[in-house]
Structure 1
């Protein structure tokens, strides 16, 4: 260990992961290392940052850090080098109280190679004026405002959520206080106040080694890290002493002396539903025990449909909102708030009094604290702590380390932060008086802030017009000479930024091998005919289970059951009910041994017996949005090993004993319908819905689950429940019977079989609850019905190939373009397609430079989905969607024509980055098992990713030339590809006309309701 780094703390976090913290005696630099298992090493480089205005200096500086450094004075060289370290570039985020720079590499060698280069950018950036012009803000030759940061903020500044949240913080932290600042930057400030001079001073004030903490998670030793840091620390010391420094966030936070109620209008085409935020001051970040208790209390109040706030606001025939959730903002003076989504406009003003009435009823004892449920909430929190260390260990330790760095001073505080489980175990013993006092002190008697987010069609119309007038005046004020000056300045800045680094600067950093990377071990079995092995593992004979059963033996403390129901054979009249079925499956009464268990008891018992329950159409789907392999209805239940038998029983009851009843169906259908208003305000969601509408036939789940179509259908279901409830219930039961028949059912289980064997007979619960009880036929689901790739609409003269829709709440534009592509995961072209897309889309690649780098769009992406049979191109948060698209088209055509060529270093770097992308799929134990599950549907074996790595390394320039002509050319061929655009209504005609120059006819969707018939 380096003599210059002193260990300040050593802890085994929650009894699982070793964590050590060090501090340099020479520079004050802090290093926090968590020995997380798995193939990835992550770096989170955190600085405490504080701002007292809306200039967005923390955020603008975050962007400019990546544009070159003292030793590497070239824009983008950091990401080019990162891509050679088995990474996919670098990233960063700006929060109110800190800025954090990140990198994730496969294996440790690339991480250690990149570490000093990254730190050179963080502490010694170039911060050039040219970089500021393109990356932050400029006025272009048309007199319009642009820049990457400007583009990003334009995409969210005037959304209902952003306006309401900022208003809440402004009121919560009165007086001079950094917690009320918009650290991302407000557009008017970015135009008039923010400057590179201010950014440089901000860097000088906050970016110092004694205000920097390196949080490192993964399989890397402290000695290796210190060795990599040694030359860099020598450079820090050689630069001499720094001026005195006051740690951020040490000043007093002005108290909240009065309660505030404020109405915040926001632009929206639909004025039916708004939102409400209600907030209070929370415990100080240092008071970890009380902070944990407040979060537990909020879980008690909001989690599951039987929680008091869900009961009183959501689970009603005439609901006050569609969703209630809470959040905590950790700070020296923290904040806790409750958000109510999709509140009917007429009820916005009723939320505060109704909420206070519910809370007062509990604190006064009128409604007793359900201590049994409180114990269940605490038990689940304990399990969640342990589960986070399996499912997302890197982020979990990063946020622990950041909280400690910002707000803690002692070793004891860090130990407590790393062992939150101990707090929850103590809180299990707290009496009901503790919880009532907590409620009284922080909510009932405390001052509050209530923000009523009110949708306004008038604003949706006036804001674009005002912006149009502002730009017109700006153009007029500049005049021809001024506009030319702006054009020249931007051109000069772009040319300066595009100075390429010497090739040997990039190629001199070697690409690490993948042989030494540690993957998570897994042992698979199934009772499918193609099973590798004998179908028996640690006492479980899968051949005796009369339906398709897949088993993963992995190192985990939990058991995950995934029920996969093939919906392909469901007729159209029943298929419409799929989203409702998925939503209500965990929230209905059920029959147990001839006794009807109420839905409230089902929800309560499920919460007590499980760690988590999830349901969706396709993998990782969401409400009205299908995930991968959309023909599957997915139901997941996760339990601790001790509840394994109970978990199997729950599966059987949920699948076969659920009782659909009219009142629950109506409440859940209303809740889903009310959520559509929120989704219709989101440009990305609308663009995705529109392109899927063009791509897929009516029998596909994409078509069925569309939010607009479901809004209409669910409204009709609510009406039908009033007139013919038995008819709806009969159809729901018919749907369930079809889905759960043996030829549509398969179950996948991920568990540590050694631990299960120690807990009892792992085979027994399946024999007790499934064999002969409901599953009598030995007809296995060994083949799937039609994949999405088989349900694509053929190109037809009458069908539009492009559509554009205006949404009043959207300021920037969103574009998605698709074309039919490969439909097999073993297609020999897939590796080359992946490398080709990376060559184009890599950080500091051609699209990054010409689209994001010029401030035309904040986000762009290309990806291939074999299960959907589609190749995608996306542009999101565009300030200039036409120019962004033209740049993308020019880049692709350049490669297709041979005018632009792939060079060997570019290819080698892209291959390295794609290798990381594949390795990342098995980042954790949970994701490794997910990959195993997906492989059954991909038609691949468990070594698929390893084989893919080998194939990727063999991709050549000749392969790329062939792939470009075969797949990329059709993607931009307007006769073969389909395109959807969502934008501001005032820009629809302008964009439609401009796209004609690309040969693309965009059909205007008069309204969302009319567009989805």
Structure 2
């Protein structure tokens, strides 16, 4: 909690809940606990809560997937019999939480309150609005609410987003989400609002809601929202296990125990009713639940003074505590702490652990898919299966690289992978704007300009979802996604062609995109972990890396200057965008992935002529370079580099340590390294106990990128990142020396965790198909590489683990072989520098702004270059998206 109690979202959310819920209502409080309460919370109070709440009548077990039902029931029966003496009697009275608790009273008035949060950059804040909605079990009204919110702020053409963001530029985003409560809670959030306009923008929001409720609605678009929602529900039911688990959990919490509320999910008949709602019904619904409803509005105001105040108060609190306890009191507390740690660290009796039989890795059945290839993809090898025969029947002279994955699905996923290697380095930062603008720009159709609102409306009619973002497994690539119904297969390919080649780079739209991205930067730079990752990426990737060029610390400078160019020399930016288009939109940069029931597609190959008809298809494919080619010198030769970056917006610290490791998928050390890292990262494992279990960090863990070879250790939200680092290093050294022996059941668990991780990557048919494509095309390994590596993992011996701990893992924690990046509260700077220096590091204190890069796009003479509220001399003081952050880039 120390890491979040004073951040913007936590402060605003907590105040909103306190104003919406009365004293004694559980929804009013911070789930994680406030620091002042946690300091006096006792173990007995926790045990009391567990005894009261963790009993069979208040628990719901949700299992989704391949299950041996009889075995499951036998285990559950044995488990329940074993705990009957530990929980209240089954016949004892039990007050069902939330359902039988006092009902939350409706808001009697509208409240607008201001919350200050610590931040040196006082330029922008946030508006957060909360409403009570319909009863959670009224599925018709809940569906109506979801449709209405989509209509209002679901995309760039919806009422609130289009007006407040696209046209009036009052916020970078209008978003919504609903919280499942007995009465659903609706939250509207306006991000990156100019601080001096917060109150005005809040008023403008409700003015716009009332205007919408009082005027004619766009019923055609409302029906589009309903139809798209129907398509999305069907798609998510097929493609996400969470779709069912969330429904069951919500029913367990708030539904009738006879299952009648759950049965409402058997059909989508509510959408049939909503399709015939009249405009008047929708307007009344909007008025009742939003525009005329009492609500709580929170204006989040950044405050540099509060940042300094919190720093001073924390120093004073610690000093007062030390003075009150005195030397003897502190020693007594230390003795109590060590005794508690000793009790907590007692070894679990082996006979208890051995009761739990670990199934073999071969008990996991991965979802099979069938691969087929067309065009240049066939150079990867001949395939002999029924689906390849289907593709081969379409004897089309089309060299386009197309990789098919056949699955039994009612939907189609199309992916176009685009190489960015041909984009000039100095233009790479402009890719952020290209991505943001891609689906929100006018197009030219039949010689006429179609405005972006009509483009988005038509796109939404034809799709379940669409987007453009860095490719997930290799962010040096771009990936355009369309999820569609089979009958829209050719329509989606036509949209690909249109958005790639017929889009119009419109100055007004480009300005709107730049304004949104610039407005989001202050928020991004308030996040300690995000900025640690951003600095880490700036240090370890070369300027030629497109993922580095999209980093927040590049956008902070570059986009300011693009904004100025759009005002003064718009033709320059248009020319640069056209240059990017010409560099990207080439046959040799394109690879296609189709995931579908291929037999349902009328023309699985020839349809793609719509994309390639005007391209030069004689060029050889550009190779997919390994990410290793884009590493910086600091990443190729890590060691003796350490940066500490103080941040006034955070109360804790974050760290990344990076060193070299195996850089191929067939490296002989890889199986042992996988087991070693899985062992160290295990929940309640040795590293967990040493770091999180002792309160030294909220989380920590090792990671390994097989493409680059980089091994990383991260520490997340720590009250003292150096102590967390020390504890981690001690664990690794102990396992190497033998003073901390490996636990055989935990090693078995580590192997099981690797299997689980592979299974988690492909829990559905669609994700299994995506993994198959990624393995074969992006990584260049066999489709069944996972199965092959698991066989090697099962044979790893303890001595092999010790060897990789010594040669690969320990160097991540040593100053001569690792690079260190730390972001921390300003109050921590001095101690962290001193402690890391004592451990052999040579830390340099630097500001965030010192890592920014303009890629040669310099400001005009006299142009203010102070960025995002960072003062000169700071260093001396020690919707559907088309844009994604590359700050947390591996």
Give the whole-Å Cα distance in 1 for the aligned partners of 2:317 and 2:629: 47
Does the Cα contact within 8 Å between 1:404 and 1:417 map onto a contact in 2?
no
**Which position in structure 2 is the counterpart of 1:588?**
441
Deviation of the 1:414 alpha carbon: 2.9
From 878, 882, 886, the counterpart of 2:726:
886
Deviation of the 1:269 alpha carbon: 1.9
Matched, 1:155 2:7: no
**Which position in structure 2 is the counterpart of 1:476?**
323
Does the Cα contact within 8 Å between 1:322 and 1:675 map onto a contact in 2?
yes
Does the Cα contact within 8 Å between 2:372 and 2:391 map onto a contact in 1?
no
**Which position in structure 2 is the counterpart of 1:265?**
116
Q: 1:507 to 1:346 in 2, by over 3 A?
A: same
Does the Cα contact within 8 Å between 1:280 and 1:449 map onto a contact in 2?
yes
**Which position in structure 2 is the counterpart of 1:995?**
836
Deviation of the 1:560 alpha carbon: 1.0
Secondary structure, aligned partner of 1:824: coil
Give the whole-Å Cα distance in 2 for the aligned partners of 1:694 and 1:237: 57
Secondary structure, aligned partner of 1:169: helix
Matched, 1:722 2:567: yes
Give the whole-Å Cα distance in 2 for the aligned partners of 1:776 and 1:537: 28
Does the Cα contact within 8 Å between 1:322 and 1:671 map onto a contact in 2?
yes
Matched, 1:461 2:461: no
**Which position in structure 2 is the counterpart of 1:598?**
451
Give the whole-Å Cα distance in 2 for the aligned partners of 1:493 and 1:973: 31
Matched, 1:982 2:832: no
Does the Cα contact within 8 Å between 2:553 and 2:851 map onto a contact in 1?
no
Q: 1:254 to 1:796 in 2, by over 3 A?
A: closer
From 663, 666, 677, the counterpart of 1:837:
677
**Which position in structure 1 is the counterpart of 2:603?**
761
Give the whole-Å Cα distance in 1 for the aligned partners of 2:564 and 2:226: 40
Give the whole-Å Cα distance in 2 for the aligned partners of 1:286 and 1:688: 42
Deviation of the 1:186 alpha carbon: 1.0
Q: 1:830 to 1:792 in 2, by over 3 A?
A: farther
**Which position in structure 2 is the counterpart of 1:538?**
390
Matched, 1:558 2:398: no
Measured against aligned partners, the alpha-carbon deviations of 1:105-125 in whole angstroms (never above 9, x if no partner) come to xxxxxxxxxxxxxxxxxxxxx
Give the whole-Å Cα distance in 2 for the aligned partners of 1:798 and 1:923: 37
Deviation of the 1:518 alpha carbon: 3.0
Equivalent residue runs for 1:17-166 within 5 Å: 153-166=1-14
Secondary structure, aligned partner of 2:183: coil
Deviation of the 1:410 alpha carbon: 6.2
Give the whole-Å Cα distance in 2 for the aligned partners of 1:985 and 1:618: 36
Does the Cα contact within 8 Å between 1:563 and 1:635 map onto a contact in 2?
yes
> How high is the TM-score relative to the length of structure 1?
0.80
Matched, 1:289 2:137: no
Deviation of the 1:1005 alpha carbon: 1.0
Mean Cα deviation higher: 216-225 or 984-993:
216-225
Give the whole-Å Cα distance in 2 for the aligned partners of 1:218 and 1:453: 43
Deviation of the 1:255 alpha carbon: 2.2
Matched, 1:487 2:334: yes
Equivalent residue runs for 1:350-361 within 5 Å: 350-361=200-211
From 450, 459, 466, the counterpart of 1:613:
466
Secondary structure, aligned partner of 2:408: coil
Does the Cα contact within 8 Å between 1:288 and 1:416 map onto a contact in 2?
no
Q: 1:475 to 1:794 in 2, by over 3 A?
A: closer
Q: 1:871 to 1:542 in 2, by over 3 A?
A: farther
Does the Cα contact within 8 Å between 2:659 and 2:817 map onto a contact in 1?
yes
Give the whole-Å Cα distance in 2 for the aligned partners of 1:313 and 1:542: 51
**Which position in structure 2 is the counterpart of 1:425?**
272
Measured against aligned partners, the alpha-carbon deviations of 1:380-425 in whole angstroms (never above 9, x if no partner) come to 21122122223321x2222111111122216574345423632223
From 793, 797, 802, the counterpart of 1:952:
793
Secondary structure, aligned partner of 2:177: strand
Give the whole-Å Cα distance in 1 for the aligned partners of 2:600 and 2:261: 31
Secondary structure, aligned partner of 1:325: strand
**Which position in structure 2 is the counterpart of 1:630?**
475
Equivalent residue runs for 1:230-629 within 5 Å: 230-235=77-82, 240=89, 242-249=91-98, 250=100, 251-316=102-167, 319-365=169-215, 368-393=216-241, 395-409=242-256, 413-419=260-266, 421-526=268-373, 527=375, 528=377, 529-533=379-383, 536-539=388-391, 541=394, 544-619=397-472, 628-629=473-474
Deviation of the 1:982 alpha carbon: 0.5
Matched, 1:815 2:655: yes
Q: 1:856 to 1:372 in 2, by over 3 A?
A: same
Deviation of the 1:352 alpha carbon: 2.1
Q: Larger % of strand: which?
A: 1
Give the whole-Å Cα distance in 1 for the aligned partners of 2:361 and 2:822: 41
Deviation of the 1:612 alpha carbon: 0.9
**Which position in structure 1 is the counterpart of 2:870?**
none
**Which position in structure 2 is the counterpart of 1:869?**
709
Give the whole-Å Cα distance in 1 for the aligned partners of 2:332 and 2:687: 26
Give the whole-Å Cα distance in 2 for the aligned partners of 1:808 and 1:669: 26
Does the Cα contact within 8 Å between 1:564 and 1:633 map onto a contact in 2?
yes
Secondary structure, aligned partner of 2:815: coil
Q: 1:608 to 1:855 in 2, by over 3 A?
A: same
Measured against aligned partners, the alpha-carbon deviations of 1:530-571 in whole angstroms (never above 9, x if no partner) come to 234169452464873332221111122211111111112211
Give the whole-Å Cα distance in 2 for the aligned partners of 1:730 and 1:502: 70
Q: 1:417 to 1:872 in 2, by over 3 A?
A: farther
Deviation of the 1:796 alpha carbon: 9.8
Q: 1:265 to 1:428 in 2, by over 3 A?
A: same
Secondary structure, aligned partner of 2:134: coil
Secondary structure, aligned partner of 1:403: helix
**Which position in structure 2 is the counterpart of 1:661?**
506
Give the whole-Å Cα distance in 2 for the aligned partners of 1:584 and 1:800: 41
Secondary structure, aligned partner of 1:975: coil
> Unaligned 5+ residue runs, structure 2?
855-890
Deviation of the 1:874 alpha carbon: 0.4
Does the Cα contact within 8 Å between 2:116 and 2:300 map onto a contact in 1?
yes
Deviation of the 1:734 alpha carbon: 1.1
Deviation of the 1:676 alpha carbon: 0.8
Deviation of the 1:888 alpha carbon: 0.9
Does the Cα contact within 8 Å between 2:638 and 2:658 map onto a contact in 1?
no
Does the Cα contact within 8 Å between 1:546 and 1:780 map onto a contact in 2?
no
Give the whole-Å Cα distance in 2 for the aligned partners of 1:689 and 1:1007: 9
Deviation of the 1:1009 alpha carbon: 5.1
